[in-house]
Amino acid sequence: MYDFAIIGGGIAGLELGAMLSHDGHSAIVLEQSEHVGGRSFVHVRDGFTLDNGIHLVRFGRKSAVARVLRHIGRTIEFASPGNAYLVDQNDDLVLFPTGPAGFLKSRLFTFSERLKALKVMVRLKSGSYGGLDRYTVEDWMQSEGIEGGLKRYFRLVSASMLVCPITSVASARALIENVNAVLKTGISVEYPLHGWRHDIIDPLIRTIKQHGEIKTGTRVESVVLEDGKATGVRTKDGIVRARDVVIDVPSQEIGKILDVGAVKSDRLRTALGLVPTSGISVDYAVQGKISDIDGLIYFEDPISFGCVISNIAPDTAPAGKSLLTWFCPIHYEEMKQKEQVRNYQQRLEDRIERVFPALKESTIFKRVLHMSTVDGVELNINQLQGKRLDYAIDGIGNLYLVGDTTAAAGAGGDIAHESSIGCYEKITGSTA
Ligand SMILES: Cc1cc2nc3c(=O)[nH]c(=O)nc-3n(C[C@H](O)[C@H](O)[C@H](O)COP(=O)(O)OP(=O)(O)OC[C@H]3O[C@@H](n4cnc5c(N)ncnc54)[C@H](O)[C@@H]3O)c2cc1C
């Protein structure tokens, strides 16, 4: 009998389990695959440490993940990327602003666009985005008269921040809230100095094991419900009893472990059909130093972004070698068209190899991943925070939810990290 049974060892389940364990509770994490981490899994190959696609931490030392680590008594050092750039169609590097000062310097904007950008940033910083819930990014840009370089800029921000390059789909409110958070924290993105596994995942695992355990290779078949309460989980080896049960499974998959028909919740039914974000990730492990750039780099065709992650966090590659990681967001529906996806991949690789010609000779290995789920939810106008599931399901006692499809704040991975704090506070009634 455990205090908590957590279904899924994704990053949100691990964070919640570690916070509860640090408080002295026993938690068992049940993970279906042979390793924990879920979509934040880290793979080590030939001395290179590869994230599951580019994994920067928004707001870095001011992020929710840093807060989780502080709660469990760990400190984490972050590496700050250098300047970000757009590589234009002539292969010239153009400064890509990550804060207000960048707008004054970047060649991406005309003089009047620069003034407009500063005016918009002041408004965004003040948080004046009420009434924009039904606006897409495209609607918002039109209403603000945003055009030219500034429009190209916000399209790329939508692609990287919301993982949605289609501005007629992405939510203006989500974009503005997240830009506002960058302006307020003064940090766009950072990266754990020694990588996700060393700095984040391993400390979480160690903390959970202080009072509980992690069982990999263990799929939960169903949540055990008795008298309207969750009392445990069923696996092929039998029932694991717990006082409370937490689900860290994307809400689209909840129907596989919960009798959704028995739960009278419209939100739950909506959550089963949430559209995730999707895309292609490409990593190149290479001999030698491939570039000096230590910030994010954007392309407009195909719209994508990446970095030489080993220039930001040297531990991710063996000495004298480099690791480059790139991501091309593609809409979930388009991702189903195999031929089209292959075409994106070809264009992406051609573009990367044109910008880094040395790759042809110096690549040790390349890894390509086609991912139909990147972030649990695409932040379109129908999937904003208020439309997603809370940390508990109405009508079922002792059953909680965590993860990047819940109604936590942020975008993408932030939602997962914010959710672990939100769920912890809901369960314990105390502040993380
Ligand atoms: C290419 C890419 C780039 C990304 N970039 C970033 C980034 O830059 N920054 C960032 O913070 N985030 C990023 N993310 C998003 C981030 O990885 C996710 O938001 C986060 O990992 C989600 O964690 P989770 O715990 O909510 O869900 P998941 O990782 O999906 O965890 C759910 C876990 O539950 C397990 N499971 C499912 N069903 C069962 C069952 N029946 N029984 C037992 N176990 C089960 C799964 O195997 C999985 O391990 C990126 C993701 C990808 C793929």
The answer to whether residue 125 scores a pLDDT higher than 90 is no
265 and 120 housed in the same domain? no
Q: Which atom of ligand 1 is nearest to the CA of 13?
A: 25
State the amino acid at position 308 in one-letter form: V
Distance CA 21, CA 74 (A): 14
**Reduced 3-state DSSP string for the chain:** CEEEEEECCEHHHHHHHHHHHHCCCCEEEECCCCCCEHHHCEEEECCEEEECCCCCEECHHHCHHHHHHHHCCCCCCEECCCCEEEECCCCCEEEECCCHHHHHHCCCCCHHHHHHHHHHHHHHHCCCCCCCCCCEHHHHHHHHCCCHHHHHHHHHHHHHHCCCCCCCCEEHHHHHHHHHHHHHHCCCEEEECCHHHHHHHHHHHHHHHHHCEEECCCCEEEEEEECCEEEEEEECCEEEEEEEEEECCCHHHHHHCCCHHHCCCHHHHHHHCCCCCEEEEEEEEEECCCCCCCCCEEEECCEEEEEEHHHHCHHHCCCCEEEEEEEEEECCCHHHCHHHHHHHHHHHHHHHHHHCCCHHHHEEEEEEEEECCCCCCCCECCCCHHHCECCECCCCECEEECCCCECCCCCCHHHHHHHHHHHHHHHHCCCC
Q: pLDDT at position 26, please?
A: 98
Ligand 1, atom 19: closest residue by C-alpha: 413
For residues 281-287, give the mean pLDDT: 98
251 and 392 housed in the same domain? yes
183 and 118 housed in the same domain? yes
245 and 392 housed in the same domain? yes
Residue to mutate (ligand 1; options 7, 14, 33, 40; most atoms within 8 A of CB)? 40
Task: Answer whether residue 202 is part of any domain.
Answer: no
Q: Using one digit for the tens of pLDDT, what is the confidence trace for 295-338?
A: 999 999 999 999 999 999 999 999 999 999 999 999 999 999 99
Ligand 1, atom 51: closest residue by C-alpha: 374
Residue ending a domain, choose from 150, 170, 187: 187
Q: Return the structure tokens found at 297.
A: 């780099």
Q: Could you count the other beta carbons within 10 Å of the beta carbon of residue 237?
A: 8
64 and 129 housed in the same domain? no
Distance 144 CA to ligand 1 centre (A): 35
Distance 228 CA to ligand 1 centre (A): 29
Q: Using one digit for the tens of pLDDT, what is the confidence trace for 162-216?
A: 999 999 999 999 999 999 999 899 999 999 999 999 999 999 999 999 999 999 9
For residues 284-294, give the mean pLDDT: 97
Distance 45 CA to ligand 1 centre (A): 20
Task: Answer whether residue 292 is part of any domain.
Answer: yes
Q: How many independent structural domains does the chain possess?
A: 3
22 and 54 housed in the same domain? no
Q: Tell me the pLDDT band of 11, cut-offs 50, 70 and 90.
A: very high
Q: Which of residues 263 and 374 earns the better pLDDT score?
A: 374
Task: Answer whether residue 192 is part of any domain.
Answer: no
Task: Answer whether residue 332 is part of any domain.
Answer: yes
Task: Answer whether residue 194 is part of any domain.
Answer: no
Ligand 1, atom 11: closest residue by C-alpha: 413
Distance CA 300, CA 282 (A): 16
Distance CA 96, CA 156 (A): 10
Ligand 1, atom 15: closest residue by C-alpha: 413
Which structural domain, as residue segments, surrounds residue 94?
42-98+278-372
The answer to whether residue 14 scores a pLDDT higher than 90 is yes
The answer to whether residue 107 scores a pLDDT higher than 80 is yes
Task: Answer whether residue 61 is part of any domain.
Answer: yes
Distance 355 CA to ligand 1 centre (A): 31
Ligand 1, atom 8: closest residue by C-alpha: 55
Distance 32 CA to ligand 1 centre (A): 13
289 and 268 housed in the same domain? no
Distance 304 CA to ligand 1 centre (A): 21
Residues with CB under 6 A from ligand 1: 7-13, 30-33, 38-40, 52-57, 219-220, 248-250, 253, 257, 281, 327, 371, 374-375, 403-404, 412-413, 416
Residue to mutate (ligand 1; options 59, 375, 379; most atoms within 8 A of CB)? 375
114 and 141 housed in the same domain? yes
Interacting residues of 361 by C-beta distance below 8 A, sequence separation 6+: none
Distance 413 CA to ligand 1 centre (A): 8
267 and 393 housed in the same domain? yes
- Say whether the peptide bond before residue 302 is cis (omega within 30 degrees of 0): yes
pLDDT above 90 as % of the chain: 88
Q: Using one digit for the tens of pLDDT, what is the confidence trace for 209-265?
A: 999 999 999 999 999 999 999 999 999 999 999 999 999 999 999 999 998 887 778
268 and 125 housed in the same domain? no
What are the C-alpha distances in Å from 165 to residues 157, 304, 326, 380? Answer: 8, 9, 15, 11
State the amino acid at position 72 in one-letter form: I
- Are 243 and 332 in contact, with CB atoms under 8 Å apart? no
106 and 161 housed in the same domain? yes
Q: Could you count the other beta carbons within 10 Å of the beta carbon of residue 242?
A: 22
Which sign does the torsion angle of CA 143, 149, 151, 153 carry? negative
Distance 250 CA to ligand 1 centre (A): 8
Q: Return the structure tokens found at 12.
A: 């949100």
Task: Answer whether residue 249 is part of any domain.
Answer: yes
Ligand 1, atom 41: closest residue by C-alpha: 220
Ligand 1, atom 52: closest residue by C-alpha: 374
Q: In which residue are the tokens 């009278």 written?
A: 264
For residues 84-92, give the mean pLDDT: 95
Distance 37 CA to ligand 1 centre (A): 7
As a whole number, the mean pLDDT across the chain is 95
CATH of the domain at 415: 3.50.50.60
Task: Answer whether residue 201 is part of any domain.
Answer: no
Q: pLDDT at position 218, please?
A: 98
Distance 202 CA to ligand 1 centre (A): 16
CATH of the domain at 93: 3.90.660.20
Q: Tell me the pLDDT band of 56, cut-offs 50, 70 and 90.
A: very high
Q: pLDDT at position 124, please?
A: 80
Distance 199 CA to ligand 1 centre (A): 17
For residues 55-77, give the mean pLDDT: 97
Q: pLDDT at position 85, please?
A: 98
Q: Using one digit for the tens of pLDDT, what is the confidence trace for 331-368?
A: 999 999 999 999 999 999 999 999 999 999 999 999 99
Ligand 1, atom 48: closest residue by C-alpha: 38
Q: Using one digit for the tens of pLDDT, what is the confidence trace for 134-152?
A: 999 999 999 999 999 999 9
Q: Which atom of ligand 1 is nearest to the CA of 402?
A: 26
64 and 19 housed in the same domain? no
Q: pLDDT at position 31, please?
A: 98
